[in-house]
Amino acid sequence: MKKLLASLALLPVLSFAQNKDSLMIRKFSDEILRNGKAYDLLYQLTKQVGGRLAGSPQFAKAETWGKQAMEQMAPDAVYLQECMLPHWVRGGKDKAVITSLNHKKTNRALDVVALGNSLGSNGKTITADVLMVADFAELEKRKDEVKGKIVYYNYGFNPTNLMPFMSYGETGIYRRSGPSRAAKYGAVAVMIRSLTESTANDPHTGAMAYTDSLPKIPAVAVGPRDADYLWSIKEGYSVSLKTNGSFLPDTIGHNVIAVLKGSEFPDEIITIGGHLDSWDVNEGAHDDGAGIVHTMEILRTMKAIDYHPKHTIRFVLFANEENGLRGGLKYAEQAKANNEKHIFALESDEGGFTPRGFGFTVKNKEQLSKIQSWLPLLQPYGTDRLIAGGGGADIGPLSSTFGTPLAGLIPDPQRYFDVHHARSDVFENVNKRELLLGAVNMAVLIYLVDQYGL
Amino acid sequence: MKKLLASLALLPVLSFAQNKDSLMIRKFSDEILRNGKAYDLLYQLTKQVGGRLAGSPQFAKAETWGKQAMEQMAPDAVYLQECMLPHWVRGGKDKAVITSLNHKKTNRALDVVALGNSLGSNGKTITADVLMVADFAELEKRKDEVKGKIVYYNYGFNPTNLMPFMSYGETGIYRRSGPSRAAKYGAVAVMIRSLTESTANDPHTGAMAYTDSLPKIPAVAVGPRDADYLWSIKEGYSVSLKTNGSFLPDTIGHNVIAVLKGSEFPDEIITIGGHLDSWDVNEGAHDDGAGIVHTMEILRTMKAIDYHPKHTIRFVLFANEENGLRGGLKYAEQAKANNEKHIFALESDEGGFTPRGFGFTVKNKEQLSKIQSWLPLLQPYGTDRLIAGGGGADIGPLSSTFGTPLAGLIPDPQRYFDVHHARSDVFENVNKRELLLGAVNMAVLIYLVDQYGL
């Protein structure tokens, strides 16, 4: 107890306006922490809807759920914004088995999952020797050995990076481009080390994209412990691999949008959102169920405490981030067509962990400084970092279309890639208080932007 | 990736000395994150030793394990410091069953656990009506109704507190003193709502103490979901309760201490420590296995990177924090007897979660300001808060004996009371990276104190 009081004592003395704000902010916080529904909503989304890849029947179910749940919160409007969705299907269980090791037959299954958007092995099982490479540089060096082989990229997270997102940035290209780069030299399939530092063996899927001019070979991610095993045996083994991915025709889907109309600036729009789609292998609890229920919780809270925003606030459940970004693109396209004015957009798409702060993509240092001057109001709720850089995928097109300032919630990032795109991204791995605190900090930021603009 | 670089760019420009320090600090961090053994050591302590209440055979096993593990790290010395330990035993499974509700027989088991140090029901089952009170104020008001009843305190965590430690501070007195305060008015047993906001039903034990002049009645904590149920039925039910706690004679135990001798100031001592004992109902993974392996990891790292401290550093696995503080008291008592000079002590006893900073109990503002000037060196590793207040139980007696400045690691606190003193405090609920990052930040702080003093 002593600790918190001391911590508060260190904060700069608040001005009168800030004091009025701090009382209002406390009202948001108390309402969310006492009566918050984000955790219950997440339970519904993860357990009653479940995994909801764009285009799938589950995704349509998620749309209906999201629309009804927001309607119950009685905003000024709820509507659907149509957009076409890609429709990739996994098509069955992905399999990989080590069938021989050092010229001896063996039969060791690997825990693998096909990469999103990858095409299957046409109903056949591909059996081939494996060529392990540390990275693209080694692939280039050994390109003459690739033909007819399965290439295994062992490029993993760098454990000395303090920020796991930095590791994800460094390794992501192996998932996205690894298959085609190996196909160029005649590989028949690709396996990658899962993009994680998890100590479990769950493999991690995620989007890849083929180079159209090259053979579209199957591609899987290998569970971390199996990846360690492959690393330990190095060479001299063959793998039988079967995947079943394919694309069906695009389907109709929707961004689900709720609106609170602004009392002073109804034509100036603040957007809050997350993405409703998830991968098919899990419940999409952190990615991005958390962002969805953060968004809905802020709507619920504004109604509950009778907060009437000055600006129009849109609460957007984006339709398709994981394998296409169609939701965010449609939202910005429609905004442009309607000649809308978008003054700020905030996204939550880094999980439901304890909030540490926000990252901003803003116009200039002055704007960032203004935001940073709000730190004393945010700090009691857990925000320590108001930094440059952030606010990504779904709201990104608003920035490129209008130059809209963006922000992204920064939850503590250390556990995120344990569950990211893996079977373990389930409700049970989300903590209720951590989830609610994300909504609290987002609500505070939105309140300040609504009151004072940027 | 963008984000981290931007965040670093915001830090104040480092002076030359700080740049030298930042390189050295990076060496600590890289060694811990690349080769850290804290997680493996925690596995050994939790899975091979397990729960280790002071005085128990498992505690003796933990001492042997700790001594051997530190000896393998080849410090200048490892020794045992004898101290007498309390020896409370649970004596069997704690049971509570609702046997009647509104005059109808029923048979609903409650998930309960006897409070530490509480005495059992003498081999008998106590059956009595339950009087539920919200708090001590209600107990006083209804004192005439207490006689012959089981008192149930429903005083829970306040969810609107941002810091769970504040809630623990507010509720702890119901666990510690609730039994005797009810016994004063003739209660035959006490049940309390577990001190947690967890959404699971695990009950949470922890130390209590009887007032010697009053009857020593059995006392249990009720799992949170069962507590919600009791709250929902309010009154008109009776419970059969059986617990089996008792005290055996004190046993001999030890603080386990490793030493790196100072190269410049061998007589000036810096202490790093956690407590080796845990409750018996779990593996003591966060409480305080994390602190134990943080401590050992820093020793390992200093040897691995060949860091020779200026001051003598003692790595102390304290013998008894949970139900007696005998380890910390003995350590300070012995230090006084030996006329030692203790310049700083750092403890880790709030779990193995992502570090947020440190709390300090220091002599004056100048000392705290000096520490806060180190923030730019700590921030890249996750520390945002260097605040007044902190450094507690085990190292507390150093402060009262010598006025030694104290510090405590502040991990993110939101999940701590989910597992605190409950069955769920197991290895599986500790994240490897979060654990290692705690050791990184502690190592950095110790390095700075060793280099620059306070």
pLDDT digits (tens, 9 = 90+) for A199-227: 999 999 999 999 999 999 999 999 999 99
CA B207 to chain centre: 12
Rounded to whole angstroms, how far apart are CA atoms A350 and A368? 21
pLDDT over 50 (residue B2): no
Which of B42, B371, B433 is the best mutation test for A, with the most CBs of A within 10 A?
A: B433
Query: Given this model, what pLDDT does residue B446 score?
Result: 98
Cβ–Cβ below 8 Å for A162 and B412: no
End-to-end CA distance of chain B: 35
pLDDT at A392: 82
Question: Looking at the structure, do residues B115 and B201 belong to the same domain, yes or no?
Answer: yes
Closest chain B CA to residue A28: B160
- Of the three residues B193, B227, B244, the one that is the final residue of a domain is B244
- Helical H runs in B313-454? 326-337, 365-372, 375-378, 396-402, 416-419, 432-452
Q: How many domains does chain B have?
A: 2
Q: CB distance A354–B434 less than 8 Å?
A: no
Which residues lie across from B387 on neighbouring strands? Answer: B359
What CA–CA distance (Å, rounded) separates B340 from B336?
6
Kind of pairing between the strands at A77-89 and A246-260: antiparallel
Contact B5, B402 (CB under 8 A): no
Give the single-character DSSP code of B46.
Answer: I
| Contacts (Cβ under 8 Å, ≥6 apart) of A25 | A377, A381, A444, A447
Yes or no, beta carbons of B388 and A7 under 8 Å apart: yes
Do A149 and A224 belong together in one domain? Answer: yes
Strand partners, A222: A112, A193
Among chain A residues, the shortest Cα distance to B6 is held by A388
Q: Which residue has the tokens 């503590």?
A: A412
Determine whether the interchain pair A1/B170 forms a contact, defined as Cβ–Cβ distance below 8 Å. Answer: yes
**If you measure CA to CA, which chain B residue comes closest to A383?**
B384
Q: Would you state the structure tokens that stand for residue A33, as one six-digit string?
A: 């922490």
Q: Above 80 in pLDDT, residue A3?
A: no
Instruction: Look up tokens 């994680």; give the residue.
Output: A196
User: Can you read off the two tokens belonging to residue B288?
Assistant: 């305080």
How large is the average pLDDT for residues B258-277?
A: 98
Name the residue type at position B198. Answer: S
DSSP string, A358-427: EEEE-SSHHHHHHHHTTHHHHGGGT--EEEES---TTTHHHHHHH---EEEEEE--TTHHHHTTBTT-SG
Residue ranges making up the domain that contains B234: 91-244
Burial pattern A377-404, b for ≥16 Cβ within 10 A else e, equals: bbbbbbbbbbbbbbbbbbbbbbbebbeb
Same domain for B198 and B184: yes
pLDDT tens-digit series, residues A392-411: 899 999 999 999 999 999 99
Give the mean pLDDT of A163-183.
Answer: 97
Q: What percent of chain B has pLDDT over 90?
A: 94
pLDDT of residue B14: 54
Alpha helices by DSSP H, listed for B338-395, are: 365-372, 375-378
Question: Residue A85 corresponds to which tokens in the numbers above?
Answer: 């969705």
Q: B410 vs A170: CB contact, 8 Å cut-off?
A: no
Give dist(CA A321, CA B388) in Å, integer.
Answer: 43
CB-based contact A95:A226 (threshold 8 Å): no
Cβ contacts of B429 on chain A, cutoff 8 Å: none
DSSP A90: -
Q: Identify the burial level of A333 via C-beta atoms within 10 angstroms of its C-beta, where 0-12 means exposed, 13-18 middle and 19 or more buried.
A: middle
For chain A, the average pLDDT equals 95
Say yes or no to pLDDT of B219 above 60.
Answer: yes
CATH for A443:
3.40.630.10
Size of interface A-B (CB pairs under 8 A): 120
- Binary contact (B3, A354; C-beta < 8 A): no
Of B2, B163, B382, the CB nearest to A162: B382
The model's confidence at residue A6, banded by pLDDT at 50, 70 and 90, is: very low
**Rounded distance, CA A293 to CA A280, Å?**
19
- Domain end, chosen from A184, A211, A244, is at A244
Q: How far is A91 from chain B (nearest CA, A)?
A: 33
- Establish how many alpha carbons lie within 13 A of residue A54's alpha carbon, considering only the half-sphere containing its beta carbon: 32
Q: How far is A125 from chain B (nearest CA, A)?
A: 36
Distance CA B203, CA A83 (A): 49
- Give the closest-approach CA distance of B53 to chain A in angstroms: 26
B226 and B185 within one domain: yes
Q: Which among B6, B164, B418 has CB closest to A389?
A: B6
Beta carbons of B162 and A414 less than 8 Å apart: no
Give the end of a domain, one of A244, A268, A295.
A244
Nearest to B354 among A1, A39, A412 (CB): A412
Does residue B408 share a domain with residue B325? Answer: yes
CATH number at residue B114: 3.50.30.30
CA-nearest residue of chain B to A357? B384
Mean pLDDT on B131-144? 98
Q: Mark whether B443 and B296 lie in a shared domain.
A: yes
**Contact yes or no for B199 and A39 at CB 8 A:** yes
Of B166, B384, B418, the CB nearest to A1: B166
pLDDT band at residue B11, thresholds of 50, 70 and 90? very low
Q: Are residues B114 and B200 in the same domain?
A: yes
Residue A373 confidence (pLDDT): 97
The dihedrals phi and psi of A223, each to the nearest 5 degrees, come to: -55, 145
CA distance A85 to A318: 11
Under DSSP, the state recorded for B12 is: P
Do B314 and B172 have their domain in common? no
Reported as a pLDDT band with limits 50, 70 and 90, residue A7 is very low
- pLDDT of the residue at A14: 54
Work out the minimum CA distance from A204 to partner chain B, whole angstroms.
18
* Catalytic, out of A63, A297, A321, A350: A321
Which amino acid is present at B388? A
Q: Do B324 and B232 share a domain, yes or no?
A: no
Q: How far apart are CA B250 and CA A218, in angstroms?
A: 66
On whether both B134 and B60 belong to a single domain, the answer is no
| Residues A10 and A126 occupy one common structural domain | no
Q: Chain A contacts of B359, Cβ < 8 Å?
A: 3, 6
Name every residue whose Cβ is closer than 8 Å to that of residue B356 and which is 6 or more positions away in sequence.
Answer: A384, B382, B383, B384, B385, B410, B411, B412, B413
Among the ranges given (A53-62, A78-87, A413-422, B14-23), the one the predictor scored with the smallest mean pLDDT: B14-23
A271 and A419 fall within a common domain? yes
Residue A259 near residue A75, CB atoms below 8 Å: yes
Residue B321 annotated in active site? yes
Average of per-residue pLDDT across A25-40: 98
pLDDT tens digit sequence for B338-393 = 999 999 999 999 999 999 999 999 999 999 999 999 999 999 999 999 999 998 89
Q: Indicate left, alpha or beta for A325 from its phi (over 0: left) and psi (-120 to 50: alpha).
A: left
CB A92 within 8 Å of CB A244: yes
Among A363, A451, A373, which residue's Cα sits nearest to residue A404? A363
Q: What is the pTM of this model?
A: 0.95
Q: Which residue has the higher pLDDT, B26 or B7?
A: B26
| CA A68/CA B238 separation, integer angstroms | 43
Nearest to B309 by CA among B453, B176, B190, B153: B453
pLDDT band with cut points at 50, 70 and 90 for residue B15? low
